[in-house]
Amino acid sequence: MRRKSRIIQVREVKIGGGFPPVVQGMVKTDPLKVEDTVREIKKVQEEGAKLVRVAIPNIKAARNISLIREMVDVPLVADIHFNYRLALEVIDRGIDKVRVNPGNLSSREILLVAKKARENKIPLRIGVNSGSLPKNLLKKISAVKDNKEERSRLIAEGMVDTALNCIKLLEENGFEDIVVSLKSSEVPVTILSNKIIAEKIPYPIHLGITATGPPPGGIIKSAVGIGALLSEGIGDTIRVSLTGSSVEEVKIAYEILKYLQLVDIGPTLITCPTCGRSRGDVRSLAEGVLQAMKNIHAPLKVAVMGCEVNGPGEAMEADIGIACTRQGGILFKKGRLLNKVRKDQLLDTLIRELHQMDQGSGSR
């Protein structure tokens, strides 16, 4: 069961309140290069991002938000560190949401941003990172560096306390249009800190693992950390962070949601791992199906199995599938045999059937 928070709205996008988790993208471009930034925002949006975050490193970048805002229609989030004046500037320039880090802004500065945000009906994300905790806490953490469990606990609790102090400050000053995130490059710390804070606040939670690195390691870290929390009902927006393409980040985010059955979009491929019983080249068949699935929109389960044991029996939940046999192969639907097929026609037969099902689903 999903944790139900209060609803925070970013333009037309609703976050929390039991709505499906929202995928956020982040562009890698310098906002001083307006055309490049707009181009990447549009690519990320086309991949399905409902919010797009832009780093704001300086005042010139902040001023460019008004130009960027005019050229895209997806809600934009400004990522602010160290200089609260950048947050004030982007709000004046039409930004839709602002992320601030209480680890590098003072209480006074955060309140000034909140005042401006309230006047413009802009939500704030209180984004706490494990790398920007108070110095006195970092000393405690350093003292137990050889005790992994204790170290993780101290970091997680420090992140939670930092977020709660900032939330209390905002609430005492009448600001409650809040999203919260607690992120670390360490998966256990991220999981623990979010579990703790989920029980203490009514606000939506944004999930992510920081500094994950390039694929495949970065994908695995993100899937484990984000997936573990989502599987326990925690998380209202997500962003996958990779040293790589911003478009790939959005793709992976949707894959995580899809495999947790939190969104119902696009096809899913089921394949056996192959063994000594395999009667065909399952990997080659699977790669061919994956290529064809790029043009499929319906939420179909597609199976490619190497023998009669796995298909259709163990793949009976598949909407459509093929299995290799000694004589050739079979085509099946929902565990029911449709036809025997020559081995050299297996892939084409499955793809043809897949397109017919997609067209009949009305998913386009």
Q: Is the pLDDT of residue 263 over 60?
A: yes
- Specify the pLDDT at position 316: 86
Q: For residues 307 and 276, what is the distance between their CA atoms, to the nearest angstrom?
A: 10
Does 324 show up as a binding residue in the annotation?
A: no
Q: What is the mean pLDDT of residues 325-344?
A: 93
- Asked if residue 302 lies in contact with residue 320, where contact means CB atoms within 8 angstroms, the answer is yes
Q: What is the mean pLDDT of residues 326-336?
A: 92
pLDDT surpassing 90 at residue 230 = yes
How much is the average pLDDT of 342-363?
A: 90
pLDDT in tens, 49-108: 999 999 999 999 999 999 999 999 999 999 999 999 999 999 999 999 999 999 999 999
> Please, are residues 267 and 334 in contact by the beta-carbon 8 Å criterion?
no
Helix spans in the chain (H): 34-46, 59-63, 65-71, 84-92, 107-119, 135-143, 148-172, 187-198, 217-231, 246-259, 282-293, 346-361
Rg, Å, the chain Cα set: 24
- pLDDT-derived band at 362 (thresholds 50, 70, 90) equals low
d(CA 346, CA 331): 8
3-class DSSP assignment, residue 289: helix
- Per-residue model confidence as pLDDT tens digits over 113-133: 999 999 999 999 999 999 888
Alpha helices in 199-245 (DSSP H): 217-231
Given a cut of 90, whether residue 360 has pLDDT beyond it is no
- pLDDT beyond 90 at 262: yes
Quote the pLDDT of residue 1: 84
Domains delineated in the chain: 8-259 (3.20.20.20), 268-361 (3.30.413.10)
Non-local (6+) Cβ contacts of 113 within 8 A are 80, 84, 87, 88, 91, 98, 100, 105, 124
pLDDT of residue 132: 87
pLDDT at 343: 93
Q: What is the pLDDT of residues 237-260, one digit of tens each?
A: 999 999 999 999 999 999 999 999
Structure tokens at 320: 């459509």
Residue 363 has pLDDT above 80, yes or no: no
Looking at residue 117, what is its pLDDT? 99
Q: Is the pLDDT of residue 361 over 80?
A: no
218: confidence class by pLDDT, cuts 50, 70, 90: very high
166 in a labelled binding site: no
How much is the mean pLDDT over the chain?
95
- pLDDT tens digits, residue range 148-198? 999 999 999 999 999 999 999 999 999 999 999 999 999 999 999 999 999
At position 143, the amino acid (one-letter code) is: A
**pTM attached to this predicted model:** 0.93
